[in-house]
Amino acid sequence: MENMASSELHMNPLEIWHAYRLPLILGIFIILTLIKSELTLRQRHKGPSASSLPGSPNTIDKNTLDWSSPKTDVGAKLRGLDDDHVENVTIIAPTKVLGKGIPKRITGNKSVRKAATRAASFDNGKDKVQPLVFYSSLLGTTKTTASEFVKALNSWRNSSDAETFNLLEAKLHDLSEIELDDYFISPPKGELDIKYFYLMIIPSYNIDTIMNTFLEHLQETHNDFRIDTAPLEALLGYSVFGLGDLEGWPTEEEGFCSQAKEVDKWLARLTGKKRAFPLGMGDVKSDATERLQEWRFGVQEVFLEILSGRGLGDGVVGSGDPVESDEEDAVEEEEEDGDEAVEGASRTREAARGKRVDDVEDLGLMIQKESPSSSLVPIDFTAYKSSNHSIRPNSVQIKEMVPKSSPTYAALTKQGYTIVGSHSGVKICRWTKSALRGRGSCYKFSFYGIKSHLCMETTPSLSCSNKCVFCWRHGTNPVGTTWRWVVDPPEEIFKGVKEGHYKKIKMMKGVPGVRAERFAEAMRIRHCALSLVGEPIFYPHINEFTTMLHKEHISSFLVCNAQHPDQLAALKPVTQLYVSIDASNRESLRKIDRPLHRDFWERFQRCLEILREKRFQQRTVFRLTLVKGFNVEDEVEGYADLVARSLPCFVEIKGVTYCGTSTSSSAGLTMQNVPFYAEVTEFVTALNDALAKRGLEYGIAAEHAHSCCVLLASTRFRRDGKWCTLIDYDKFFECLESGKSFMPEDYMGPPTPEWALWGNGGFNPEDERVDRKGRKKEIAEI
């Protein structure tokens, strides 16, 4: 030993290195490995609580899973040892058991949520779509329904032309017979060029059935932190159809198709928003066949979109928000009424960023200043622009109202408008979206029977001649007293706004809560609110435009600002004609509407006379927007005088909605100017009394408390002691097409529903009431 030690003492460092390098390197390696494992374990330990996964019982169960148990060899499944699944499964192998009661530590990396590479790379030249239809059935109805569905789908596929060449025959699977892991942890592997599409036909039971097991499976898969939260992302898409019984479960609230709804929700999460078509629902005792067929048509269209290489078609990547939240409403909550729904919030943002969003009026002045030669000249606008060039009278180039390159165009499109041609716009309002999701229509459903999901909101003139203080649009829409822009042909506008509207509806097909039935209905516009921004009757060919609407049996609600008497006089009958009455006297009107016309009061008066003349040809309406501090106090008598002068069929009274834009603030508008509903009703009662005092036969007919809106109606619209404010739209078109003169009473509809009558709130009991975050709300809160 001594010799060895002394010989070592005499070794030089190089010799020592050669003698001990192996144990040294080994030692360093072990130390580094230990440090690394410790760090990794600490990181893992923090992981679950820091992740976005909910601390649900499911998560805890999974953490404590007994991997050694042969019964639950989930690990093997996940590792893909005994299945034929696709590549993207996250594999996390268990390493050690720490002891009883302590969650197991699991090493490995949770894969980051990735986009579905397979789905995104669908090659319509060679890939094939494999529809898989899953069902479960206890009593046999769903089994028969699903088999018939597959037969119908396959026969459509076989009878169609080459468009469906790459669509494989649908296969049917009973959920109680398949291994759920084989299909619902990841899609089946299959051949590389086969992409899967899931269709679920699901009954609902309020007792324990296979459906509970299935739902638990979906939920656990989603909550399992070892698996990607969207492990079915590689699917092309999915859609769910529910079978239920409306007799036993009369509403969705009471459980109608509740389990189909759940499946739809979980699949949205597992597929990473790949809802390709809205949830369909059918009542086994009434409309199931019809609803299923409607759903199949929708699904077939989706297949055609996919096969042609357009993915899931218009809209979001494929579906809506899997979290089922109403985030979009956070922006839209300001949009109290679609008619006023297009407001200038972005104007504020633009202003904040220092960007200029000029009024066209101002731009006109700027152009004049900059180029005297371009000063305005009278123009004959009865000629349309041709598709290739604009009208150039006296060699002065006529400008487009909203050119694509203008900041106004940018601001409006940012707010969700589709600009059609150079001066028209279309946008789907908050209520249309709400109705598509079964969450209630706007007040026009309560008052006049307009279903919001069948309504298109548009204008053929984005320009207006007022700068109303409460108008959210102001700042982003052009203004002007005369039409001095290029005129687009009405056919082009009509075609363009319909396309724009349908495109926006289609974008809703993957949004949570949208129902297949309403979605299908929405693909046929029934009503048009000509009130978006601007002044519709400003458009020189407004009559041609409304004729086109009527020809397609689309009703017309036209709102004008009482500043264009000549155009108003020349207007052909519409279904309901509105005039905005923003004040009862000259000074008040000047302050609130900030009109551009110097003779605004005279124009206003003339419009009232014209409306009076029209009251026996069409339904006429005064629209009052109450702005505290501007047009409410001491004005009741004045408004009553205006009503006496015009004798409109209806008076709609609505509290203003504050939009918080810089424009409104600079106009001195704050939240203090927004009346409470109680103040609105107080005003309405006083106005009603003032009308009675004048011997005018009006009464308070209906209300929509949610929109802070009340309807006063002429007793012409009372039949057998009941208010009949609804419209018989078919009758309206019949009258119009008869070519004979007719009166508003001729297309008066059935009695106003009980729940909409004054004193009853106006919320349709069939609709689900939710708050802005999409949570259910008590009706009593109204």
Residue numbers at the binding site for ligand FMN (CB under 6 A): 137-143, 203-207, 243-245, 248-249, 255-258, 284
283 touches ligand SF4 (CB under 6 A)? no
Of 274 and 498, CB closest to ligand SF4 = 498
x/- binding map, residues 477-516, to ligand SF4, per CB under 6 A?
Answer: ----------------------------------------
298 touches ligand SF4 (CB under 6 A)? no
Tell me the residue number closest to ligand SF4, measured at CB. 338
CB of 654 to ligand SF4, least distance (A): 11
Q: Which listed residue (339, 350, 400, 767) binds ligand SF4 by CB under 6 A?
A: 339
Considering only residues 630-669, where is the footprint of ligand SF4 by CB under 6 A? none
CB of 159 to ligand SF4, least distance (A): 38
Binds 155: which of ligand SF4, ligand FMN, none (CB < 5-8 Å by kind): none
Binds 137: which of ligand FMN, ligand SF4, none (CB < 5-8 Å by kind): ligand FMN
CB of 439 to ligand SF4, least distance (A): 13
Q: What are phi and psi of 527, to 5 degrees?
A: -135, 150
Q: What is the DSSP letter of 524?
A: S
Binds 284: which of ligand FMN, ligand SF4, none (CB < 5-8 Å by kind): ligand FMN
CB of 150 to ligand FMN, least distance (A): 15
Q: In three state form, how does the secondary structure of 171-185 look?
A: EEEECCCCCHHHHHC
Q: Hey, which bits of 552-618 come out as E strands?
A: 555-560, 576-580
Of 243 and 486, CB closest to ligand FMN = 243
Of 339 and 635, CB closest to ligand SF4 = 339
Tell me the residue number closest to ligand FMN, measured at CB. 244
Q: In three state form, how does the secondary structure of 278-345 look?
A: CEEEEECCCCHHHHHHHHHHHHHHHHHHHHCCCCCCCCCCCCCCCCCCCHHHHHHCCCCCHHHCCCCH
Question: Which residues have C-beta within 8 Å of that of residue 250, sequence separation ≥ 6?
Answer: 256
**Nearest partner of 433 among 482, 506, 360, 344, judged by Cα:** 506
Of 337 and 488, CB closest to ligand SF4 = 337
534 touches ligand SF4 (CB under 6 A)? no
The burial of 458, by beta-carbon neighbours within 10 Å (0-12 exposed, 13-18 middle, 19 or more buried), is given as: buried
Considering only residues 552-581, where is the footprint of ligand SF4 by CB under 6 A? none
Binds 432: which of ligand SF4, ligand FMN, none (CB < 5-8 Å by kind): ligand SF4
Pairing, β 619-626 against β 650-655: parallel
CB of 217 to ligand FMN, least distance (A): 19
The C-alpha atoms of residue 780 and residue 761 are separated, in whole angstroms, by 9
Sign (positive or negative) of CA dihedral 650, 656, 657, 663: positive
Of 208 and 778, CB closest to ligand FMN = 208
Binds 603: which of ligand SF4, ligand FMN, none (CB < 5-8 Å by kind): none
457 touches ligand SF4 (CB under 6 A)? yes
Q: What are phi and psi of 302, to 5 degrees?
A: -60, -45
Q: Which listed residue (348, 432, 563, 664) binds ligand SF4 by CB under 6 A?
A: 432
Q: Are 705 and 677 in contact (CB under 8 A)?
A: yes
Q: Are 455 and 530 in contact (CB under 8 A)?
A: no
233 touches ligand SF4 (CB under 6 A)? no
| Residue 418: Cβ within 10 Å count | 19
CB of 250 to ligand FMN, least distance (A): 9
Of 450 and 770, CB closest to ligand SF4 = 450
Span of 424-432, 539-547, 649-657, 658-666 interacting with ligand SF4 by CB under 6 A = 424-432
| Residue 630: Cβ within 10 Å count | 23
Tokens representing 64 are 């404590």
Q: Which listed residue (245, 336, 337, 635) binds ligand SF4 by CB under 6 A?
A: 337
427 touches ligand SF4 (CB under 6 A)? no
CB of 447 to ligand SF4, least distance (A): 10
CB of 105 to ligand SF4, least distance (A): 55
Binds 101: which of ligand FMN, ligand SF4, none (CB < 5-8 Å by kind): none
Of 50 and 207, CB closest to ligand FMN = 207
Q: Which listed residue (442, 571, 607, 626) binds ligand SF4 by CB under 6 A?
A: 442
Binds 338: which of ligand SF4, ligand FMN, none (CB < 5-8 Å by kind): ligand SF4
Inter-residue long-range contacts of 416-419, CB under 8 Å, 24+ positions, other chains counted: 416/342, 417/342, 417/532, 417/533, 418/496, 418/497, 418/500, 418/503, 418/504, 419/462
335 touches ligand SF4 (CB under 6 A)? no
338 touches ligand SF4 (CB under 6 A)? yes
**If you write DSSP's letter for every residue of 629-669 in order, what string do you get?**
TTSSTT-HHHHHHHHHHH--SEEEEEE------HHHHHTT-
| Residue type at position 640 | A
Binds 455: which of ligand FMN, ligand SF4, none (CB < 5-8 Å by kind): ligand SF4
The C-alpha atoms of residue 256 and residue 251 are separated, in whole angstroms, by 5
The C-alpha atoms of residue 744 and residue 675 are separated, in whole angstroms, by 32
Of 329 and 339, CB closest to ligand SF4 = 339
The C-alpha atoms of residue 662 and residue 667 are separated, in whole angstroms, by 8
Q: What are phi and psi of 703, to 5 degrees?
A: -145, 155
**Beta bridge mates, 193:** none
Tokens representing 37 are 């494992």
Size of site (CB under 6 A) for ligand SF4: 13
Q: Which residue has the tokens 């789905």?
A: 119
The burial of 550, by beta-carbon neighbours within 10 Å (0-12 exposed, 13-18 middle, 19 or more buried), is given as: buried
Q: Are 461 and 534 in contact (CB under 8 A)?
A: yes
444 touches ligand SF4 (CB under 6 A)? yes
Span of 162-170, 409-417, 427-435, 630-638 interacting with ligand SF4 by CB under 6 A = 427-435
Return residues touching ligand SF4 (CB under 6 A).
337-339, 429, 431-432, 442, 444, 450, 452, 455, 457, 529
